[in-house]
A = this chain, B = another copy of it.
Amino acid sequence: MKVRKLVVVGGVAGGASAAAKARRCSEEVEIVMYEKGPDISYANCGLPYYLSGVIEKREDLLITSSEFFRRRFRVDARTRCEVVEIDRKRKRVVVNNLATGLTEEEAYDRLVLAPGSHPIIPPVPGVDLAFVSTLKTLEDTDRIFSFLKEKKPRRAVVVGSGLIGVEAIENLALKGLEITAVELAPQLLTFLDWEMAEKVRWHMQHKGVKIHLSEGLASVEEKNGQGIVRTDQGREILTDLVLISVGIKPNVDLAKNAGLKVGITGGIKVNEFMQTSDPDIFAAGDCIETTNLVTGKPTLTPMGSAANKEGRAAGANALGRRVAIKGFTGTIIVKVFDLTVAKTGLSEREASLEGYSPLALYVDPSQHAGYYPGAKALSIKTVTDRDSGRLLGAQVIGEEGVDKRIDVLATAMYHHMSLEDLLNLDLAYAPPYSAARDPVIIAGAVGQNYYQGDWDPITPQELKEKMTSGEDIVLIDVRNRLELKERDPLPGAIHIPIDLLRREVEKLDPHKETIVYCAQGLRSYLGNRILNLKGFKRVKTLSGGLDNWMYEMGTKDSGSRTD
């Protein structure tokens, strides 16, 4: 069938990509693109940075325009037009023109759905007050921007600490507001494991953000001209502005009402060609269900990068091409003040839930040669399927070089690489960029050492449980004397500096379970080897060392873990 007319629903990332690609596949097809909002193809992911002034001009957020789409791609881009119904039998869409209030119908041969997602609003009193907002669209942003300018709020409460939540926190804080974060989960950024999220929490607290975990929003009210946020823990927080960012949901009503299949994740079901259960209807962006390439299971991937790829594929395939999008490894990155926080694949908790027996290992190398100025520590956690050795996920936190390592690890995971085999990657080395042993290579070597039986790691969580339950273990701190003053040894630990361990080994009981630790795990690994080679059979090393021990300095102890 010759495709004479393509209708695209949604004109931001997925929709605009689809329309532009469709034009490159045919000069003859008529393309109509409907966008509910006033702008097409704006920089959704840049919105928080406009609030702080990091992005200075509103026009920088406008990547393109209806006029441009008409001129360059001969796409009839109609803004403020909401598609409210799909008549699949007659192959027509019903459109509300929000400017005129009129309803019109438009025929299609092929249809691409890219209506995006909407923010979840907790069903509590007061969320409709004027100083309460979400931060999802350019309109939201404009409203908050004006509010900041006119009302000059001093304080803000940010409810929810996902990607948009923490970006909002940073940017409102940069703007000078006092921020309180309220998060229902017992940690920030729930895609991370708890102890990694703790590093982010400390950093944000250090930057002056007040954080309340395990607290849900109960209500918002206005009293004597100021806002009050109440949490389900009975807390009252006075504020001038409330930002709600507790998650998003795919916009699927249009598809659902038309009888298109929706998956168990709540996204529109598509095949790898972005084709819905109706072969003439394609879908792309936040509204669809994607495939997690690690588990092979359906997931949601509401990212601009995904929407662009999917839109391109949907636009091509609607015109008869075969462009496949296999899925996503689940790569996430977010800037949190001076930190970059990133993840790909599964967290340890997610891997457990998926039925794997996860091996969690930590390394803390610097992002480039230590002797080159500006070296900064990275904190890397790898999650491996203990049995097969396959890398299932990684989390990386640090000030510099985080994005590089997560992208290398995401590429490795796309290829179902084993942890050990990371060691074989030929990563670029010169002192300004990496160390002779790149952090990813170190993660691979540490994994190979494990699989060769050279050491047995224990995670902070496991050690904490042993200590709490009073197990009969010998805990050895192999740091030097100076370091002990900087940070206290763990309770019950005996101190044997690594270079004296060989001499002192005779005083230890080779039959007892012995756990060695240092600051980051390198010296304790040597300690583990020395003890093993001296006949100790039950030796473990605290993976990641004390730098990775999140229990002492936090406000909560292991009871606060989420799993």
Q: Does A494 contact B (CB under 8 A)?
A: no
In the complex, identify which listed stretch (A173-181, A255-263, A324-332, A551-559) lies at the interface while the others stay far away: A324-332
Copy tally for this chain in the complex stands at 2
> Which positions 56-82 of chain A face chain B at CB distance < 8 Å?
56, 60-61, 63, 71-72, 74
- Min Cβ gap A559→B in Å is 33
Given A49-B372, A373-B55, A43:B344 Cβ within 8 A:
no
> Is A328's CB under 8 angstroms from B426's CB?
yes
Contact with B along A323-349 (1 / 0, CB 8 A): 101111111111100001010100000
In the complex, identify which listed stretch (A199-207, A215-223, A245-253, A529-537) lies at the interface while the others stay far away: A529-537
Query: Which residues of B are found within 8 Å of A428, using beta-carbon distances?
Result: 331-333, 342, 344, 403, 406-407, 410
> Which positions 425-442 of chain A face chain B at CB distance < 8 Å?
425-434, 436-438, 441
Given A63-B371, A452-B321, A534-B27, A45:B436 Cβ within 8 A:
yes
- Min Cβ gap A521→B in Å is 14
> Is B430's CB under 8 angstroms from A54's CB?
no
Which of B72, B330, B331, B498 makes the CB contact (< 8 A) with A499? B72
> Is A427's CB under 8 angstroms from B410's CB?
yes
21 A-B pairs within 8 Å (CB atoms) are namely A24-B525, A45-B369, A54-B372, A63-B371, A74-B502, A305-B426, A305-B427, A305-B441, A309-B423, A326-B424, A327-B426, A332-B428, A335-B433, A340-B433, A342-B428, A403-B433, A407-B428, A408-B408, A408-B411, A410-B426, A411-B412
Given A49-B372, A429-B305, A414:B410 Cβ within 8 A:
no
> Is A426's CB under 8 angstroms from B54's CB?
no
Given A305-B441, A426-B410, A403:B529 Cβ within 8 A:
no
> Is A372's CB under 8 angstroms from B55's CB?
yes
- Min Cβ gap A353→B in Å is 20
> Is B325's CB under 8 angstroms from A424's CB?
yes
* CB-CB nearest in chain B for A301: B426
> Which positions 116-167 of chain A face chain B at CB distance < 8 Å?
163, 167
Query: Which residues of B are found within 8 Å of A467, using beta-carbon distances?
Result: none
* CB-CB nearest in chain B for A531: B27
Query: Which residues of B are found within 8 Å of A530, using beta-carbon distances?
Result: 27
Query: Which residues of B are found within 8 Å of A510, using beta-carbon distances?
Result: none
Cα separation A342 to B429 with both chains bound (whole Å):
10
Q: Does A448 contact B (CB under 8 A)?
A: yes
Query: Which residues of B are found within 8 Å of A436, using beta-carbon distances?
Result: 13, 45, 304-305, 307-308
> Is B431's CB under 8 angstroms from A45's CB?
yes
Cα separation A307 to B426 with both chains bound (whole Å):
12
Contact with B along A278-299 (1 / 0, CB 8 A): 0000000000000001000000
Q: Does A404 contact B (CB under 8 A)?
A: yes
Cα separation A98 to B340 with both chains bound (whole Å):
50
Q: Does A445 contact B (CB under 8 A)?
A: yes
- Min Cβ gap A422→B in Å is 9
> Is B430's CB under 8 angstroms from A414's CB?
no
Q: Does A234 contact B (CB under 8 A)?
A: no
Cα separation A342 to B433 with both chains bound (whole Å):
11
Given A373-B55, A407-B408, A533-B27, A431:B331 Cβ within 8 A:
no
- Min Cβ gap A22→B in Å is 11
Which of B60, B312, B404 makes the CB contact (< 8 A) with A407? B404
Query: Which residues of B are found within 8 Å of A13, using beta-carbon distances?
Result: 436
Which of B46, B309, B372, B526 makes the CB contact (< 8 A) with A371? B46
Which of B46, B321, B403, B415 makes the CB contact (< 8 A) with A415? B415
Top 7 A-B pairs, shortest CB-CB distance: A333-B428, A305-B429, A404-B404, A27-B533, A411-B411, A304-B436, A403-B433
